[in-house]
Chain A
């Protein structure tokens, strides 16, 4: 096999993680679709009444954009443009942090409306799904920050780095998961 073993490790780890997310997403979908015990019947808040798909849509675009910038970072690594790599890593971190800020304000607004994880099934599934995704974004940000620090200290002269390439894979994965989560929670609500 030609793939570097650390990248291979990341790929299998992400494949394994996707099983974890599939279960959480199916759980959300199950409670969303079985109306008899689902969200609407309780008369409480729902994704439709308490979430803003446009505002979160913008933060979604920001996350997608960060996937693009990390890809540009890997491209700069391959063409040995070290300062561009540092730049794109920095932009990715800023965009990722912006997304987390969006998630934070979303949660804060909902908690002020008294929608908590223990209130009803909507709260339970919403916070679990977005929470585990947000946790993965946070871990990704920490790893990107470490890479950024190392890059500033002079590492990653290119054209290859298992670290940069596998963390960028991770970041793409977090992005893809969010697109699914956004579709299932926000878009399904308006449909």
Chain B
């Protein structure tokens, strides 16, 4: 049997993706750098939308018995804010960073599956549009909270189409996330440059590898929950309908079975950024590479066994509560190892406070605050007291804003020169940093207090009780400062794209491979990748007389 020519041979050459900046070359791009930047643009746009939603809520809550917005819209706002920030801001930011940097850091030409990479991105964007579509229709967006507890999110209780679109949207972003997780794993396994063993890849890559496993194995749990919820809503199935014997609590188990690993999907890549920024600006290698990797793997594994700490208020019974309390507290150990590793890396180093380093330092402090309130929440009785109060809101924002977002800003200030060839303005950057730090703490620090005083979350207004009004007002002022600092950041991007200092290949004198490429890197990334001998290839190139020991993890102490 010979090959049957179904289609006649053509002599036209394949259309080449030119170096021009046309819009189509972006939309059709399968280049990991362009996709990474598109992730960045999409995430930043959704960040502005989600931030605007938060500001509207804060204005409504600035004084008691306010009626700036009505309760229906308020419910939609907090639901959309949460969903947007988790699935359309932090995840795309972090996945996009990974997509841009992983191939460069391991000395590869591109991801293992460039087309799959593009698909992941566009499916996430499509999910975002699906989520926001009902906002412009009669029925309004989803208003059942970002975790869509059943039976509220079921048909008889939520007849509008919001929750249906919510589930479809998250299914889209979920498929995209699984695909990028698997793509990352295979890229890291198969495409490392000669000599780049798993003991020599940058910590950023290691932590993204762990994250990618979480993406590949935790997101399908959510997907299963979403399809069953959709079956309930569309085909009148009975999964979560108590009236026909279904269990509303089952949804909570499925959702948090995904939801807790998700917490680490949002925060491990943030750790990854910090692991790159802190050593470079302390001028010392990371203290304890092995500890950092080991603790990340421990966190990744433990993440699957602690979902019940989101359900202490359900009444699971003493044995379950005890188990979930203890298991959750256990996670504080590997997390603590990381904190101490960063501090030890800074210890005795020549610290240079560029904006990236300021954000990284602030990250460590804010994340410790969020982590401490998190460990407190691991005790079931404390949850009973504080559940559904503003204390929870404060906690999650210290972890996800003070944690993930601060790390993302550190990453942006650090890698922006690589992406664009120009430095972000340090003067505007410092202005951005201080305003954001003040605004953030003003907004959320006082929410701890108002939570302890008993103010419930997700209420559109509150009565004029002692201290509630001024604490809320402070929070709103903080939110406005925060919003203003984001405007400064966006101004900095546009300003620096035109007027920023030319960066050169390695403006920070960093040691990982991405700084060997030109800024911005050419389509093929590297003309030639040197053979890798240690975890700091650029150090070895710069100091051929005293290269790193091949597997030197702790050289920081001795050098």
Residues on A lying within 8 angstroms of B by beta carbon are 1, 5, 8-9, 12-13, 15-17, 19-21, 23-24, 27, 30-31, 37-38, 41-42, 82-83, 117-118, 120-121, 123-125, 127-128, 132, 152-155
| A139 and B151 alpha carbons, distance in the complex (Å) | 33
Which B187-236 residues sit within 8 Å CB-CB of chain A? 189-190, 216-221, 223-225, 227-228, 231, 235-236
Additional 5 contacts, C-beta under 8 A, given A20-B223, A121-B246, A124-B246: A9-B182, A16-B216, A19-B224, A23-B254, A128-B228
Q: Are B244 and A121 in contact (CB under 8 A)?
A: yes
A19 contacts B220, C-beta separation under 8 Å: yes
9 contacts between A and B (CB under 8 A): A9-B113, A16-B216, A16-B220, A19-B217, A19-B224, A123-B237, A124-B237, A125-B239, A154-B3
Q: Check A153 against B4 for contact (C-beta < 8 Å).
A: yes
Q: Among B4, B182, B224, B244, which residue has its beta carbon within 8 angstroms of that of A120?
A: B244
**A103→B6 CA distance, assembly (Å):** 36
Any A CB within 8 A of the CB of B20:
no
Contacts of B6 in A (CB 8 A): 153
* Cα–Cα distance between A15 and B227 once the two chains are bound (Å): 19
Contact A15 B186 (CB under 8 A): no
For the complex, what is the distance from the CA of A5 to the CA of B224, rounded to whole Å?
27
Partner of B217 from the list A16, A82, A83, A124 (CB cut-off 8 Å) is: A16
Interface string of B493-506 (1 = CB under 8 A from A): 00000000000000
B538 sits at the interface (CB 8 A): no
B2 contacts chain A at the CB level, 8 A cutoff: yes
CB distance from A167 to the nearest CB of B (A): 17
For chain B residues 107-129, which have a beta carbon within 8 Å of chain A? 112-113, 116
Contacts of A38 in B (CB 8 A): 245
B interface residues, how many (CB within 8 angstroms): 39
B318 CB–A CB distance under 8 Å: no
Are A12's CB and B216's CB within 8 A?
yes
Instruction: Assess the B228–A41 pair: CB atoms within 8 A.
Output: no
B43 at the interface (CB under 8 A from A): no
A5 → chain B closest CB, angstroms:
5
Q: Are A8 and B190 in contact (CB under 8 A)?
A: yes
Looking at A38, A120, A155, the one whose CB has the most chain B CB atoms below 10 A away is A120
Instruction: Give the CA-CA distance A153 to B225 in the complex, in Å.
Output: 42
A1, A27, A30, A82 — most chain B CB neighbours (10 Å) = A27
In the complex, are the beta carbons of A154 and B1 less than 8 A apart? yes
Give CA–CA (A1, B188) in the complex, Å: 11
Question: Number of A-B pairs whose CB atoms are under 8 Å?
Answer: 103
Chain A contact residues: helix, strand, loop or mixed: helix
Q: From known contacts A16-B178, A19-B220, infer whether A27 and B238 are also in contact, taking CB-CB under 8 Å.
A: no
A12–B223 CA distance with the chains assembled, in angstroms: 16
Which residues from 218 to 274 on chain B have a C-beta closer than 8 Å to any C-beta of chain A? 218-221, 223-225, 227-228, 231, 235-239, 244-247, 250, 254, 257
Also in contact, A42 and B245, with CB within 8 A (given A20-B220, A120-B238): yes
Flag if A12 contacts B238 (CB, 8 Å).
Answer: no
B residues 149-200 near A (Cβ < 8 Å) are 178, 181-182, 185-186, 189-190
Query: Which 6 pairs show the lowest CB-CB distances between chains A and B?
Result: A23-B224, A118-B236, A154-B3, A19-B220, A20-B220, A124-B237
Docked pose: A8 CA to B216 CA in angstroms: 13
Q: A17-B220, A128-B237 are in contact. Are A12 and B185 (CB under 8 A)?
A: yes
Contacts of B189 in A (CB 8 A): 1, 8
Tell me, rounded to whole Å, the shortest Cβ–Cβ distance linking B129 to chain A: 24
Cβ of A64 to closest chain B Cβ, rounded Å: 25
Q: With CB as the reference atom, state the residue of chain B lying closest to A18.
A: B220
Bound CA–CA A67/B238 (angstroms): 34
Taken together as a complex, chains A and B put the C-alpha atoms of A24 and B224 apart, in Å, by 7
Interface residues of B in 91-147 (CB under 8 A from A): 112-113, 116
Residue of A nearest to B4 (CB): A153
> Is the CB–CB distance between A121 and B2 below 8 Å?
no
CA A117 to CA B235, docked complex, whole Å: 7
Residue from B112, B178, B185, B228 in contact with A27 in the complex, judged by beta carbons closer than 8 Å: B228
Q: Which of A13, A16, A38, A118 has the most CB of B within 10 A?
A: A16
Q: Known: A27-B228, A118-B236, A121-B246. Contact between A5 and B186, CB under 8 A?
A: yes
Closest beta carbon of chain B to A40's beta carbon, Å = 11
* Residues in B neighbouring A128, C-beta threshold 8 A: 227-228, 231, 237, 239
Q: Which residues of B contact A8 (CB under 8 A)?
A: 186, 189-190
Could you tell me the distance between the alpha carbons of A95 and B190 in the complex, rounded to whole angstroms? 36
Looking at the assembled complex, report how far the CB atom of A189 sits from the nearest CB atom of chain B, in whole angstroms. Answer: 18
B221 / chain A contacts, CB cutoff of 8 Å: 19-20, 23
Assuming A117-B236, A152-B1, is B186 touching A9 (CB within 8 A)?
A: yes
CB proximity of B125 to chain A, nearest CB, Å = 21
Chain B residues with CB below 8 A from A30, complex form: 247, 250
B114 CB to nearest chain A CB (Å):
12
